Structure 1
Amino acid sequence: MDLKLKGKRALVTGSSSGLGESIVKMLANEGATVIVHGRNEDRAKVVCQEIINNGGMAEIALGDLSTDNGADEVASAALKNGQIDILINNAGVTSHKSWGEATAIDWAEIYNNNVVSYVRMIQRIVPQMKTLGWGRVIHIGGGLAIQPIKEQPHYNATLAARHNLSISLARTLQETGITSNVVSPGAIINPMVEDWLVNAAPKFNWGTDLEEIKSKAVQQLIPNDTGRFGEPEEIAGAVAYLCSTYANYISGATIRVDGGTIKCL
C-alpha cells in the first residue's frame, strides 16, 4: 500500500535509537524526508546514514527538548530545509521509582521531560503546519496512561498527560487539516528489555533460554491476547498509517497497539 508520504517532511523526536528509530526508518521507506532527532550526534548520524544508504532522505536535528533553548535548536534545524508536515512526539525518559522513592523533584523532572517537551515541539512546529492547511501530530503514549500500576506513578501520570493533551490539541485544530492522535504501545521488546528479562529471570524462575524467559514474562507480567511482546515495527506501522491520507478522518483518537493488554472499551 502506498501511504502517499512522498514529498512530506517528518520530524520524529527521539529517533536516534529505540522505537523512534524504527518509526523514522519506516517513514523514510514510505518516501517521506525524515529528520532524525537526538542528543547524541554520533548515534543520529548512524541512523541518518543507514536511511540514506537504503535510498531514503534524511536530515539531523540535535538538541535537548527538556529546555526551551534545546527545543529552539531542534525546531530551527528541522525547518531549515523546508516545512514540517508531520511531527511525531516520541522522545522521553522512564523511571522505575515507587511512591516511596519518587520525590516531588522527580515528579517535576519527568513531567518536564515527558510532557512539557511535547508541548515545546507542538508550539514550535504546529503554527507553520497551519499555513500548509495539512499536518499530522502523533504522540507516543502508553497503556499505563489508561490502566496505571502501583509502580512508577510519576511515569504513569506523564503518559496520561500525553493522551490528554493530544485530544485537547485535536479539538483546537479542528477544520485546519491537521490531526492529532496518540499511538499507545504495550510492552515492546528491545535489547534493553531483553537484558532486563535475563537479569530478572532467576528471581522469577523463568529459566535461562531467552524465548522461554520472554514467554513466561508475558504470562506473569503482561498477559495479552497475542501471548507475546510487541515489536518496534508494529508500533511504527500504526504511526505510519496515521501519517497517511488514509487517516484523514481520524483525530483525537488513541490507537492501542498492545496485543489486547488493556482490557477496556
Structure 2
Amino acid sequence: MNLNLAGKRALVTGSSSGLGEATVRLLAAEGAAVVVHGRDEQRTQAVAEAIRANGGKADIAIGDLTGDDGADAVASAALAGGPVDILVNNAGAYRHLSWADATPDTWRDTYEGNVISGVRMIQRLVPFMRERGWGRVITIGGGLAVQPMHQHPQYNATLAARHNLAVSLARELRGTGVTSNVVAPGAILVEAVKDLLTEIAPARGWGESWEQIEQDATNELVPNDIERLGRPEEIATAVAFLASPLSGYISGATLRVDGGHIRGVA
C-alpha cells in the first residue's frame, strides 16, 4: 500500500535505536524525509547514513529532551531542513524498580523524561502544523497505561500520562487538520529485552534455545493471543499508517499493537 508519505517530513524522537529506529527507517522507506533524533551523535548519524544508503532522505537532530535547551536544539535542527509534518514522540526510558525503590526523585525524573519531553516537542512543532492546516502527532504509549503492574510504578504512571495528553491534544486540535493518536505496544523484542530474558531464563526454568525462551517468557510474563513478543517493525507499521494522509478520520485514538495482551472492548 502506498501511504502517500512522499513530500512529508517526520521527526521521530529517540530514533537512534529500538522502536524509534525501526519507525524512522520505515517512514523513510515510504518516502518521507526523516529526522533521526538521539543523544549519541555517532549512533544517530549511523542510522541516518543507513537510510541514505537505501535511497532515503535523512537528517539528524542531537539533544537531550529533558531540558529546554536540548529541546530547542532538536527543534531547530529538525526545522532547518523544512517544515515538520509528522512528530512521533517515542523517546523515553524506564527502570525496573519496586515501589520501595522508586523514590520521589525517580518519579520526578521519569516524568520529566517520558512526559514533559514530549510536551516540549509538541509546543515547539505543532503550532507550525496548525498554521499549515495539516499534521500528525503520534505518541508511543503502552498497555501499562491502562493495566499497570506492581513493578516500575513510576513508568506505568508516565504511560498513562502520555495517553491522556495525546487525547487532550486531539481535542485541542479539533478542526485544524492536525491529528493526535497513540500507538500502544505490548512487549517488543529489542536487543535489551532479548538480553534480559536470556539472562533470567535459567533461574526461571525456561528453555535453552531462544525460541523456547521467547515462548516461555511470553506465556509467563505477557500472555497474548499471538503467543510471541512483538517486533519493532510491527510497531513502526502502525505508526506509519497513523502518520499518513490515509488516517485523516482518526484522532484521539489508541491503536494497541500487543498481540491481544490487553483485554477490552475499546
Alignment TM-score, normalising by the size of structure 2: 0.99
Measure, in 2, the Cα distance between the counterparts of 1:32 and 1:47: 15
AA at the equivalent of 1:30: E
Match of residue 7 from structure 1: 7
Measure, in 1, the Cα distance between the counterparts of 2:2 and 2:198: 40
AA at the equivalent of 1:250: I
**What SS class does the counterpart of residue 188 from structure 2 fall into?**
coil
Match of residue 83 from structure 1: 83
Q: How far has the Cα of 1:237 moved from its partner?
A: 0.2
Match of residue 208 from structure 2: 208
Measure, in 2, the Cα distance between the counterparts of 1:83 and 1:222: 40
Measure, in 2, the Cα distance between the counterparts of 1:81 and 1:201: 46
**What SS class does the counterpart of residue 94 from structure 1 fall into?**
coil
Residue 124 (structure 2) pairs with residue 124 (structure 1) = yes
Measure, in 2, the Cα distance between the counterparts of 1:244 and 1:60: 21
Measure, in 2, the Cα distance between the counterparts of 1:124 and 1:219: 42
Measure, in 1, the Cα distance between the counterparts of 2:133 and 2:207: 55
AA at the equivalent of 1:175: G
Q: How far has the Cα of 1:207 moved from its partner?
A: 2.4
Alignment TM-score, normalising by the size of structure 1: 0.99
Measure, in 2, the Cα distance between the counterparts of 1:192 and 1:95: 12
Q: 1:119-154 deviations in whole A, cap 9, x for unaligned? A: 000000001111110000000000000100011100
AA at the equivalent of 1:38: G
Match of residue 102 from structure 2: 102
Residue 169 (structure 2) pairs with residue 195 (structure 1) = no
Match of residue 185 from structure 2: 185
**What SS class does the counterpart of residue 5 from structure 1 fall into?**
coil
Aligned-pair identity (%): 60
Point out where structure 1 has 5 or more consecutive residues left out of the alignment. Answer: none
Q: 1:51-81 deviations in whole A, cap 9, x for unaligned? A: 0000000000000000000000000000012
Greater alpha carbon shift after TM alignment, 104-113 vs 187-196: 187-196
Measure, in 2, the Cα distance between the counterparts of 1:173 and 1:213: 45
**Considering only aligned residues, what root-mean-square deviation do their CA atoms show, in Å?**
0.5
Counterparts of residues 99-248 of structure 1 (less than 5 Å): 99-248=99-248
Measure, in 1, the Cα distance between the counterparts of 2:62 and 2:199: 33
Match of residue 48 from structure 2: 48
Match of residue 257 from structure 2: 257
Measure, in 2, the Cα distance between the counterparts of 1:243 and 1:120: 20
Q: 1:233-261 deviations in whole A, cap 9, x for unaligned? A: 00000000001111000000000000000
Point out where structure 2 has 5 or more consecutive residues left out of the alignment. Answer: none
Measure, in 2, the Cα distance between the counterparts of 1:195 and 1:87: 30
AA at the equivalent of 1:94: Y
Hey, which bits of structure 1, 4+ residues long, moved more than 2 A? none
Q: How far has the Cα of 1:208 moved from its partner?
A: 1.4
AA at the equivalent of 1:44: T
Measure, in 2, the Cα distance between the counterparts of 1:77 and 1:87: 14
Q: How far has the Cα of 1:190 moved from its partner?
A: 1.4
Measure, in 1, the Cα distance between the counterparts of 2:81 and 2:187: 36
**What SS class does the counterpart of residue 91 from structure 1 fall into?**
coil
Measure, in 2, the Cα distance between the counterparts of 1:38 and 1:194: 22
Q: 1:162-198 deviations in whole A, cap 9, x for unaligned? A: 0000000000000000000000000000111111111
Measure, in 2, the Cα distance between the counterparts of 1:191 and 1:241: 25
